[in-house]
């Protein structure tokens, strides 16, 4: 992506050099709206009439509403862009979404000055960078680019500079994940994905290891090899390791990297299969997150284990009825080759457990059942009770809707196999997301604090843009993982 340049500015409104000034509006409980903090000086230039002017143009303060007002020479900027924050006492997420909506409306603008930062600086920065995101690599005519530069109304202090650095790094990590997800599968396949992960890791100073199909076979990674057996593009396992200053805790990250999922022999319906280019969203998120940990110098040790395969039907594909011997020795009867993500994750989870981490965070576009249960914008979080709840709470706090889900004991017996240690699916459709969590639990070391984040819905936006979420890959749950790592760094 081409990101806007960002800066802090405490210039008086009459001294601002910009093409557009961005302010916020807030709905009032009794009807109507008021201007958000930071807009007072702009209102003064309009002799206190800005609310009346905006009202005449249809403004009401509704969340993500965008209304433009010409300044008619009152400011050096030609336009005031008022964006709705929604209900009074706006949260960070309201600011983030409003900033994203404003950024999307600033396409082609050279320079903007944003007063939403007076409400919440970090949220305004994150929303702006993410809302301005574009992916035009494959367009012959890219059109107008995102806003070129955004100055945020803020004192230029050591503390605010730190906020700018952190917020920018997190938003750029999300954008990195989006870029990977949006790259089509003819260009992003196991070997090329591994190469891009290595390049990102080496640039961040990480220790990098890649296992090709020969090394996977020697190591006994039966899940990854089985899933990848039907493709001419052979699987990989990537390991990216970061050790920060005074690292007190070790965190394992695992992400599902299916670069394209046809369902294999248990082939998917053709409708919307093109969205399966996003089936490596979990892998993209953990690659971006470990690079982010290095960039922000978290006092942690973070190791990402990333299994990558392409699930294709062919004469060499694994079949329903096959039994795979997973890394670590457990055997799995394959009942459905479209339940492939859990097979490659099982290998990776066992390998990650050998590093003796204090915590394990694993994420995947794992089950359609997640979308049925929680919709397209809410991730399901399963795992050990306390850590699961901690991850879900933090996910909600950063605006990546996460919801804690149970792992009912009765679903484990539904995974019993006639011929192997367990089957990869149950014989029914009930609680599919939870059954997948039970399957993964079988490969998590006893006593380890772990969380699985199912982002089958939230990882990819097939509809129109909203807030700071553009079409295509969303980068969820990078911000959740980043916040959990920061929380572990601070609180253990």
23-82 confidence digits (pLDDT tens): 999 999 888 999 999 999 999 999 999 999 999 999 999 999 999 999 999 999 999 999
pLDDT of residue 1: 66
Name the catalytic one among 342, 351, 388, 479.
Answer: 342
CATH 3.40.220.10: does it fit domain 5-154?
A: yes
331-376 confidence digits (pLDDT tens): 999 999 999 999 999 999 999 999 999 999 999 999 999 999 999 9
pLDDT of residue 30: 84
Name the catalytic one among 76, 268, 319, 393.
Answer: 268
Binding positions for Mn(2+) are: 256, 261, 279, 338, 340
Q: Print pLDDT tens along the chain (492 aa).
A: 678 999 999 999 999 999 999 999 999 988 899 999 999 999 999 999 999 999 999 999 999 999 999 999 999 999 999 999 999 999 999 999 999 999 999 999 999 999 999 999 999 999 999 999 999 999 998 788 999 999 999 999 999 999 999 999 999 999 999 999 999 999 999 999 999 999 999 999 999 999 999 999 999 999 999 999 999 999 999 999 999 999 999 999 999 999 999 999 999 999 999 999 999 999 999 999 999 999 999 999 999 999 999 999 999 999 999 999 999 999 999 999 999 999 999 999 999 999 999 999 999 999 999 999 999 999 999 999 999 999 999 999 999 999 999 999 999 999 999 999 999 999 898 999 999 999 999 999 999 999 999 999 999 999 999 999 999 999 999 999 999 999 999 999
172-491 sits in which CATH class? Answer: alpha beta
Q: For every residue of the chain, which 3-state class applies, written as one string?
A: CCCCEEEEECCCHHHCCCCEEEEEEEECCCCCEEECCCCHHHHHHCCCCHHHHHHHCCCCCCCCCEEEEECCCCCCCCEEEEEECCCCCCCHHHHHHHHHHHHHHCCCCCEEEECHHHCCHHHHHHHHHHHCCCCCCCCCCCCCCCCCEEEEECCCCHHHHHHHHHHHHHHHHHHHHHHHHHCCCCCCCHHHHHHHHHHHHHHCCCEEEEECHHHHHHHCCHHHHHHHCCCCCCCEEEEEEEECCCCCEEEEEEECEEEEECCCCCCCCCCCHHHHHHCCHHHHHHHHHHHHHHHCCCCEEEEEEEEEEEECCCCCCCCCCCEEECCCCCEEECCCCCCCHHHHHHHHHHHHHCCCCCEEEEEECCCHHHHHHHCCCCEEEEECHHHHHHHHHHHHHCCCCEEECCCCCHHHHCCCCCCCCEECCCCCCCCHHHHHHHHHHCCCCCCCEEEEEECCCCCEECCCCECCECCEECCCCHHHHHHHHHHHHHHC
Q: Is 268 an annotated catalytic residue?
A: yes
Domain boundaries, the chain: 5-154, 172-491
Binding positions are: 256, 261, 279, 338, 340
Q: Do domains 5-154 and 172-491 have the same CATH topology?
A: no
């Amino acid at each position: 992506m081409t990101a806007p340049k960002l800066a802090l500015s405490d210039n008086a409104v009459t001294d601002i050099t910009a093409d557009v000034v961005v302010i916020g509006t807030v709905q009032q409980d009794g009807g109507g709206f008021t201007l958000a903090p930071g807009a007072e000086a702009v209102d003064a230039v309009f002799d206190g009439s800005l609310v009346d002017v905006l009202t005449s143009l249809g403004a009401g303060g509704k969340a993500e509403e965008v209304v433009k007002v010409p300044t008619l020479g009152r400011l050096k900027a030609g336009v005031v862009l008022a964006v709705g924050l929604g209900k009074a006492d706006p949260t960070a997420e309201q600011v983030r979404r409003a900033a994203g909506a404003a950024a999307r409306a600033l396409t082609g603008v050279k320079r903007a000055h944003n007063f939403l930062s007076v409400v919440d600086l970090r949220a305004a920065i994150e929303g702006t960078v993410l809302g301005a995101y574009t992916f035009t690599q494959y367009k012959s005519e890219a059109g107008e680019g995102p806003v070129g530069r955004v100055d945020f109304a803020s004192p230029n202090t050591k503390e605010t500079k730190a906020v700018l650095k952190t917020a920018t790094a997190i938003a750029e990590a999300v954008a990195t994940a989006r870029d990977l997800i949006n790259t089509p599968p003819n260009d992003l396949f196991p070997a090329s994905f591994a190469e891009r992960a290595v390049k990102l890791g080496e640039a961040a100073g990480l220790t990098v290891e890649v296992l090709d199909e020969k090394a996977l076979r020697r190591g006994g990674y039966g899940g990854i090899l089985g899933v990848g057996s039907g493709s001419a593009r052979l699987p990989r396992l990537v390991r990216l390791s970061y050790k920060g200053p005074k690292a007190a805790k070790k965190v394992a990250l695992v992400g599902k990297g299916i670069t394209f999922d046809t369902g294999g022999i248990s082939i998917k319906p053709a409708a919307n299969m093109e969205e399966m280019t996003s089936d490596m969203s979990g892998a993209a998120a953990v690659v971006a997150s470990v690079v982010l940990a290095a960039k922000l110098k978290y006092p942690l040790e973070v190791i990402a284990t990333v299994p990558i395969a392409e699930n294709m039907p062919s004469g060499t594909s694994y079949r329903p009825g096959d039994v795979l011997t997973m890394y670590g020795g457990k055997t799995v009867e394959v009942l459905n080759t479209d339940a492939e993500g859990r097979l490659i994750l099982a290998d990776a989870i066992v390998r990650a457990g050998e590093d003796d981490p204090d915590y394990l965070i694993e994420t995947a576009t794992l089950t359609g059942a997640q979308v049925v249960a929680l919709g397209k914008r809410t991730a399901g979080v399963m795992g050990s009770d306390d850590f699961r709840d901690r991850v879900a709470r933090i996910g909600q706090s950063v605006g990546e809707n996460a919801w804690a889900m149970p792992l009912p004991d009765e679903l484990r017996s539904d995974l019993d196999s006639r011929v192997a240690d367990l089957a990869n699916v149950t014989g029914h459709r009930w609680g599919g997301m939870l059954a997948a969590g039970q399957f993964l639990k079988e490969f998590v070391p006893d006593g380890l604090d772990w969380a699985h984040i199912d982002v089958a819905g939230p990882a990819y936006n097939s509809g129109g843009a909203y807030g700071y979420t553009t079409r295509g890959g969303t980068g969820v749950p990078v911000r959740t993982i980043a916040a959990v790592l920061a929380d572990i760094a601070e609180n253990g």
